Structure 1
Amino acid sequence: MEEFQIKFFVLFITSISLLWFISKRLFKPPGSKNPLPSPRSLPVLGNLHQLSLLPHRDFLVLSKKHGPLMLLHFGRVPVLVVSSADAASEIMKNHDLSFADRPRYKAHKKILYNGKDVVFAPYGEYWRQAKGHFVLKLLSNKRVQSFRPIREEETALFVQKIRESSGRAVNLSHMFFKFTYDGVCRSALGRTYSESDKGKEFLVLMMEMTEALGAISIGEFIPWLRWIDRINGFDKKVERIASGLDGVLESVIRERLGNLVESLEEKSEVDFVDILLEIYSEGGDVSSNRDSIKAIILDVFGAGTDTSAVVLEWTMSELLRHPTAMRKLQEEVRGIIGQKQDITDDDIDKMHYLKAVIKESLRLHPPFPLLLPRVATRDVKVKGYDVAAGTVVMVSFWAIGRDPELWDEPDKFMPERFLNSSIDFKGIDFELIPFGAGRRGCPGIAYSMAVIELLAANIVAKFDWKLADGKDLDMNEGPGITSHRVVPLHAVATEVA
């Protein structure tokens, strides 16, 4: 009864407020000389009523009617939706500087130390310095190579767990996430945490963080409805996530500061915390930079765990649905490694079909169906249209990956399309930008792909796979900033003799 009263109260107040605003006709779309195509919107709500929990699918439907550059309104906020490779190139290449900023949402500010990270930080001098540390010190090719022993050990543990399943169905979705989480823990913090109470708590908090950062808070777009976030518990949840993550990271930093004696050259194993502490200690007092260290570590976890796990999950899903592709990949991998137990980087460089499979999986199932949003810092013309400063930009790679003008039979899983193609996912070819492009492109591609390729090669080389129940696989994705399967992937492995 109490729950019903709350819902009724919320509905009543919202309805009265909407009627009041409509009567005052406060919702006025900004005028422009050459406005962008735009579907009809409602006063106050704008186009929010046209969105489901899977907005990338809604955007694809709307873009077919209104075009690859389309202006929506989320409450008072203008939102430019980009749905073609050509239009994405305009935003992230030709006008990259004009769209280099991020919108500043309260969940991002609260969890990520008011913009002290790299992924969501405002564009400016701090962001440039932090990204420089990220690219040159944390995720350079040399550093990625230095973490290979960790990748190999975690991959061997994963393979052993599959062996121990003895032909029983395993939850690959859960195993992929735990695998990437443990690998990032060792690379970032120096040890695994997943088996400890603190580690399990941190793992849950990381999953909740991803969900919170991708949630649509109505108060961000309709300020007078901010009270809804207090009533539905969103504000309290964000506060709890931020506090919990900070507690874990603070304890790691305090422990490490007590042993900050050896230089990086003297240590046998170096992790991200070591590197960041040394970087920020060079400028004097580390304590003044603690929030920066913690925020960047959260970026590493956010980008290195969920993203990689999603790619592995969808890649195996497609291979299980397409036995011919699975056999072709197994033949390639097994033929290259022969009787060897260990797969080297040189081996993986020769696995052209493996790379094609992963590219095709990324095309159909990008970890971010909508690339992380940007915001216009100035008035700018895009393909002849006027885009006002403050407009949020959402690039729908989900739509680009299914564009029939770019891809033959775009809904089909066909890795062969990449075998004789130079198209890559590093931000140069706008047909395939699952990790973004330009200044705000993902700096962790090399780290993630090293993890994904090594594990994928091992599990298809050493096991034959089949679906757990033999039925058709549910390929629907769930809501959130990253695109997980709705139904976890279960499969049965048989070790190859």
Structure 2
Amino acid sequence: MPDYQAGYFTLFLICMISSILILNLYKSSRVKPHLPPTPFRLPIIGHLHLLGRIPHQAFHKLSNRHGPVFRLFLGSTPCVFASSPETAKEILKSHENAFLDRTENSVVDFFSYGGKGFMFARYGSYWQFMKKIIMSELLNGKTLDFLYPVRSDEINRFIKYLSQKAKDGKCVELEGMKLTSNMISRSFMSKRCSEEEDKSEDITKIIAETTEIAGKFNLLDHIWFCKNLDL
């Protein structure tokens, strides 16, 4: 081997060894984050294969193995699970500011026009503004006192409705949806939304179906290459 080739080879070895040493020193000097334990995960789907048909039972088994706090990846979405009252209190009360924001949900965004409403808006300046308006204008003592006759009238109507059903010997499903929906619609629009019983049942059905759809697991929200798909 010529001398210049041996010199290049020696220089290459020196650079490679130096790079490895510097990289190892850099890794050892970094502060390791104190993250909760997590089981082995698969590419793309993460820990979805561990959930099974009954997720809450799978979470209980994982908590017995990994402790009261552990991490799971639902696809590409990192999640932290708390399975004891003490850790739940730490998350929901002691450190609530760190967990105020909502995760992305395409179904909820569709129903709420991109989270424009107060209930499903992401935590930030818009949500804080909406909360301020609601607490100062909608739910303050003056407004509640002003709407008291509306609530009282709807309660009296509901009691008369139950009394008439009792006289007719007919059964009544006491879900309270008709009473609540009429209170809300009269408070906002000065109009009852369910004058007839059939309309009340339709509203109850729509709300139940919407809640069920919004609560279902949506794979598009958790697989990173599916989030930008328009399906």
TM-score normalised to structure 2 length: 0.68
Report which of the two structures shows the higher radius of gyration computed on alpha carbons: 2
Q: Which has the higher contact order (CA 8 A, sep 6+)?
A: 1
Checking the alignment, whether the CA contact within 8 Å between 1:217 and 1:229 is kept in structure 2 is: no
Q: Distance in 1 between matches of 2:54 and 2:149?
A: 38
- Cα separation, partners in 2 of 1:171 and 1:36, compared to 1, 3 Å: same
CA distance 1:124–1:33, shift in 2 (3 Å): closer
**Paired residue for 1:218?**
219
Question: Where does 1:412-431 land on structure 2 (aligned, <5 Å)?
Answer: none
Q: Could you give the per-residue CA deviations for residues 397-455 of structure 1, whole angstroms, max 9, x where no partner exists?
A: xxxxxxxxxxxxxxxxxxxxxxxxxxxxxxxxxxxxxxxxxxxxxxxxxxxxxxxxxxx
8 Å contact from structure 1 (residues 75, 222) kept in 2: yes
Query: Contact 1:194–1:203 (CA<8 Å) still a contact in 2?
Result: no
The one-letter amino acid of 1:98's match is A
Matched residue, 1:171:
173
Counterpart for residue 118 of structure 2: 118
Indicate how the Cα distance of structure 1 residues 146 and 83 shifts in structure 2: closer, same or farther if over 3 A, else same. Answer: farther
Partner of 1:159: 159
- Within 5 A, what are the aligned runs for 1:450-461? none
Q: CA 1:94–1:160 in 2, change beyond 3 Å: closer, same or farther?
A: same
Deviation at 1:185, TM superposition (A): 1.5
- Distance in 2 between residues matched to 1:150 and 1:135, nearest whole Å: 20
Output the CA distance in 1 between the equivalents of 2:171 and 2:53. 30
Alignment-mate amino acid for residue 169 of structure 1: C
Do structure 1's residue 70 and structure 2's residue 81 form an aligned pair? no
Secondary structure at 1:136 match in 2? helix
Q: 1:151 to 1:59 in 2, by over 3 A?
A: farther
- 1:215 maps to a residue whose letter is K
Which runs of structure 2 are paired with 1:388-407 in the superposition (5 Å)? Answer: none
Distance in 2 (alpha carbons) for counterparts of 1:157 and 1:53 = 45
**Could you tell me how far apart the structure 2 residues matched to 1:151 and 1:58 are?**
45
Correspondences of 1:329-478 after superposition (within 5 Å): none
Q: Does the CA contact (< 8 Å) of 2:154 and 2:179 recur in 1? A: yes
Counterpart residue type for residue 97 of structure 1? N
Q: What is the correspondence of 1:275-286 to structure 2 with a 5 Å cutoff?
A: none
Q: How many residues align?
A: 197
Within the alignment, does 1:81 sit opposite 2:78 as a pair?
A: no
Query: 1:193·1:200 contact (CA, 8 Å) conserved in 2?
Result: no
Gaps of 5+ in 1: 1-31, 231-497
Q: Percent identity?
A: 32
Query: Relative to structure 1, is the Cα distance of residues 156 and 137 closer, same or farther in structure 2, using a 3 angstrom cutoff?
Result: same
Q: 1:78 Cα shift?
A: 0.8
Cα-to-partner distance string for 1:297-356 (whole Å, 9 max, x where unaligned): xxxxxxxxxxxxxxxxxxxxxxxxxxxxxxxxxxxxxxxxxxxxxxxxxxxxxxxxxxxx
Quick one: distance in 2 between partners of 1:179 and 1:55?
35
CA contact (8 A) 1:37 1:70 kept: yes
DSSP 3-state at the match of 1:72: strand
Contact 1:219–1:229 (CA under 8 A) maintained in structure 2: no
Within a 5 Å distance, the mapping from 1:227-246 to structure 2 comes to 230=231
Deviation at 1:52, TM superposition (A): 6.2
1:63-121 CA-to-partner distances (Å, cap 9, x unmatched) read 34433322121111111122334323332343333322222222222222222222222
**Aligned partner of residue 113 in structure 1, secondary structure:** coil
Change (3 A) 1:64 1:156: farther
3-state DSSP of counterpart to 2:172: strand
| SS of corresponding position for 2:162 | helix
Root-mean-square deviation (Å) = 3.3
Q: Give the structure 2 partner of residue 49 of structure 1.
A: 49
Q: Which has more helix, going by share of residues?
A: 2
Partner secondary structure for residue 132 of structure 1:
helix
1:45 CA displacement: 2.2
Distance 1:228 1:207 in 2: 28
Asked whether the 8 Å contact 1:47–1:73 carries over to 2, the reply is yes
| TM-score, with structure 1 as normaliser | 0.35
Q: In the superposition, relative to structure 1, how do residues 216 and 228 fare at CA in structure 2: closer, same or farther (>3 Å)? A: farther
2:118 is paired with a residue whose SS is: coil
Report the equivalent of 1:150: 150
Structure 2 unaligned spans of 5+: 1-31
Q: Distance in 2 between matches of 1:49 and 1:146?
A: 54
Q: CA deviation at 1:204?
A: 4.6
Q: How far is the alpha carbon of 1:169 from its aligned partner?
A: 3.5
Cα distance, 1:90–1:227 mapped onto 2, change above 3 Å: closer
Q: Take 1:53 and 1:137, find their aligned partners in 2: how far apart are those partners?
A: 45
- Matched to 1:150, the amino acid is V
Q: Which residue of 2 aligns with 1:276?
A: none
CA gap of 1:118–1:163, structure 2 versus 1, over 3 A, is same
Contact 1:76 1:222 in 2 (8 A): yes
Q: Aligned letter for 2:131?
A: K
Distance between the aligned counterparts of 1:123 and 1:228, measured in 2? 25
The amino acid that maps onto 1:210 is T
